[in-house]
Amino acid sequence: MMKKLNIDNPFFNFMGRLADIVLLNLLFLVCSLPVITIGASLAALYQSCDDMAEGEFISAFRNFFGTFRKQFKKSIRIWLVFLATGCLLIFDILFLGGTGGRNVWSVVGIGVGCLFVLWEMIFCYIFPVVLKKGGGVMEMSKESMLLAVRNFPYTIIMALLNMIPLLSFILGGRILISAIPIYLLFGFGLTAYINTGFLRRCV
């Protein structure tokens, strides 16, 4: 009986880690509400997950806000660039998809789609990894692109995981209704935790 109640029991370790992921998810959502702080929130979320893997995780609050404060200023300018370009690309994709045109519009649509894939590949690395090294937006984007190409299989998996919320929003209906409570509870934290495992192999 005492063995089952041991705090080192795998079940308790799993539940403790899950509780940390849920709390990190909540901190990420709250700190992302101003929108312009999403970059710092992403950096803090991924760094906290990396601290878990390194055994340097103290608490969700200390690890998250320690990185959030450190990366706050640098992340804003990068995030605003990615937010503007991402919104423009998504708008173009939705607009071109709604026109149903052919020939010229199809070629433009393919081009926009390729640009969005490139955007997503860079996005997989710039906040969780490259932001910590510093530099200009272009310099960090180039380094993120190199990492994305060098680790292409991992990049595809991470990009697909990152795309789930957006795809759920676009598809709407039951898929969106099912996705909302998952991502409000632990979805973003779990995605970062899984992606961190890939990132540790890439960098």
DSSP 8-state secondary structure symbol assigned to residue 8:
T
Every domain of the chain and the residues it spans: 13-202
pTM of the entire predicted model: 0.88
What pLDDT digit, counting tens, does each position of 93-125 carry? 777 766 655 555 577 778 888 999 999 999 999
State the number of CA atoms in the 13 A half-sphere of 70 facing the CB: 17
What pLDDT digit, counting tens, does each position of 187-203 carry? 999 999 999 999 999 88
What pLDDT digit, counting tens, does each position of 5-20 carry? 555 677 778 888 999 9
* Rounded-to-integer distance, Cα 80 and Cα 76, Å: 6
Residue 128: closest CA among 148, 107, 109, 103: 148
